[in-house]
Amino acid sequence: MEQFFEFVSNHMLLVITFVILLIAFIVSESNRGGQKISINEATLLLNRDKAILVDLRSAQEYKAGHIAGALSIPYDALKTRMKELEKYKERPIILVCKIGQHSGAAGAVLKKAGFGTIKSIKGGMGEWQAANLPTVKSKK
């Protein structure tokens, strides 16, 4: 531990540069796939702005319980099924996955394809269920 502090004190400019670049990278990556929003903000967008909710989880997870009205487009199939979203290009799109790990990358894919407002739910379905918000099960 002493060597760490010695390194930091001897190379202060290098350490400060690293920290600034790390922060810039984290901010850039988090904004790349759209803004992260709370479940309250998501509910407001769904009700007020008629946003489209895309569930990126697997078909089995979707069938076990999903947010009412969500479209099931698994993350692995997003690029091949993007045409299903074309009619919603001008509406806000909210992405939800299991815990938020895929929604950023999926948002980047949609932004690159020309979709406008892309947002993702912080914490994904885990957060939704932790708040005891309603889910529905598929009959298929």
For the annotated catalytic residues, the residue numbers are 97
Q: Which amino acid is at 55?
A: D
Would strands 71-72 and 118-121 be described as parallel, antiparallel, or unpaired? unpaired
Distance (Å, whole) CA 15 – CA 139: 56
Beta strands, E only, 8-102: 35-37, 52-55, 71-72, 93-96
Q: Evaluate whether 61 touches 81 at the Cβ level (below 8 Å).
A: no
